[in-house]
Amino acid sequence: MNIIQKIKSKTRMFRRRMSDPKKFVKTDQDSGQVQLELLKMDGCVPSSKVVDIGCGCLHLGVPLMKYLDVGHFAGVDPNAWLREKAMKDPQVRQLVDEKQPKFLSGDDFDASPLNMEFDFVFAHSVLSHAAHWQLGQFLENAAKVLTPTGRVLASIRLAEGNNFGSAGSPDKQDTMDEQWVYPGVSFFKLETIEQVADKHGLKATYYPQYTEFYTKTKPNEFHDWMVFTRKEAS
C-alpha cells in the first residue's frame, strides 16, 4: 500500500459526523491526513511540538494528536465552536483527554499566550485568505513562538501561479487586500513573501514539491507551500 492509499484508508477510519463545520471550512479528513504527511516529510517526529494556526474542526488535529507525544499539540483559531463541535464526538473527546492539547481562541495568529515554543508552526488555508498586512502579522507572531531551529510550514497563493492548477492573480501582482478574503483568495508575490519574512528575521523557501505531493490526493487544493526558518539557523 503506497502513501496515498494509506492516507485514504486512514481517512475512512476517522470520518465523523460534523456537518456544520464542513459547511464552514473546505478542508476535510483527506486534507488533514495529507497535511500530517507533509509535516512528517518536513521532519516532524512524535517528540516535535506543533501549533496548528487555524486548527478549525481538527481535521489535522485528530491525526496529528494521534502521532505526537502527550502535550505536544496546540491549536489556535478564532472560532472555538468548530473544535467544540468536533469534540462532541466521543472518540475525538477521548483523544483530546489523552493527548492534553492546548487551545487558544484568537484571530491574530498569536500562540505566545500558551507559553510554549514550537518546532513547527503550521498553517493551511490561512494565508491564502489573508489581508496583505496580515502576512507580516502572521510571520511576526510565528517567529515569537518558534524554537531556534524550528520551521513554519504554511500554504499560500503565489501571484505568479504554479504548474499544479493555480493561475495566480490576474496581473501576477499582490492583490493588496485590506481585509480577510473568504471564500475568495488573496495572492502574494514570492518576492513580497521573502521581503516580509526577512523583516521578521526569517528566511522564506518555496517548496513546489509539497504542492505536487498534496495534489496527488487533493487535485483541487493547489496551494503553494512555503517554509520559513530563522535566518541565523539557515
**Could you tell me which residues come within 8 angstroms of residue 54 by beta carbon, excluding any fewer than 6 positions away?**
76, 77, 123, 124, 125, 126
Q: Is 150 exposed, middle or buried (0-12, 13-18, 19+ CB in 10 A)?
A: buried
Position 3 scores a pLDDT of 60
Q: Are 183 and 125 in contact (CB under 8 A)?
A: no
58-109 residue pLDDT tens? 999 999 999 999 999 999 999 999 999 999 999 999 999 999 999 999 999 9
The number of distinct structural domains making up the chain is: 1
Q: Residue 30: which pLDDT band, with cuts at 50, 70 and 90?
A: confident
Which pLDDT does position 29 carry in this prediction?
A: 76
Query: What is residue 74's predicted lDDT score, i.e. its pLDDT?
Result: 98
Span 34-47, average pLDDT? 97
Q: 3-state SS of the chain: helix, strand, coil percent to 5?
A: 40, 20, 40
Which CATH number belongs to the domain containing residue 215 in this structure?
Answer: 3.40.50.150
183-222: pLDDT as tens digits:
999 999 999 999 999 999 999 999 999 999 999 989 989 9
Q: Which range has the worst mean pLDDT, 3-12, 56-65, 80-89, 141-150? A: 3-12
Task: Domain of residue 54: give its range.
Answer: 3-233
Residue 233 pLDDT class (50, 70, 90 cuts)? confident
180, 129 contact by CB (below 8 A): yes
Q: Does residue 133 carry a pLDDT above 70? A: yes
